[in-house]
Amino acid sequence: MPEFVRFGNYSLRKRNARKIWLNSSFRVRLIKSGIEKAGSINKLGRELGYRSRVHPGWSIRQILLGKQAFPYERLKKLADFLNYPLDDIMTQRADECRVTPENTRRALQEWGMHYYLPR
């Protein structure tokens, strides 16, 4: 019997409780808003608590490209930073297998962030 953890109105399986995958279009739009408000991807990384001296935005870039999920606590900080309701963000969750490079590529082009496309 799988164990569940509750976050507000949402419950997740305990082993994946701290990893939130968002659908590609929404994820790119959300991170783009964060970058615009913070001023750069590195400044956004610092706002969310990443502390690398060289490149605090590296994890943000990995999330943007769909290579890793949002840690729940960082997603919560991003929601607070953008004044965006966390409940609205959680409705955009997706299964890990639905986050594909093609969906991400399409979303990056749609939101004018083609410069983040991997080569």
pLDDT per residue over 7-29, tens digit each?
555 555 555 568 999 999 999 99
pTM of the full structure: 0.82
Residue with tokens 């890990």: 96
In this structure, is residue 2 part of a structural domain? no
In this structure, is residue 1 part of a structural domain? no
In this structure, is residue 5 part of a structural domain? no
Structural domain for 50, as ranges: 19-116
CA atoms within 13 A on the CB side of 61: 13
Q: If DSSP codes are grouped into helix, strand and coil, which group holds residue 43?
A: helix
In this structure, is residue 42 part of a structural domain? yes
The C-alpha atoms of residue 61 and residue 22 are separated, in whole angstroms, by 14
Number of domains in the chain: 1
Q: Residue 90 in contact with residue 20, Cβ under 8 Å? A: yes
In this structure, is residue 7 part of a structural domain? no
Give how far the C-alpha of residue 35 lies from the chain's centroid of Cα atoms, to the nearest Å.
Answer: 12
Q: What is the pLDDT of residues 20-66, one digit of tens each?
A: 999 999 999 999 999 999 999 999 999 999 988 788 899 999 999 99
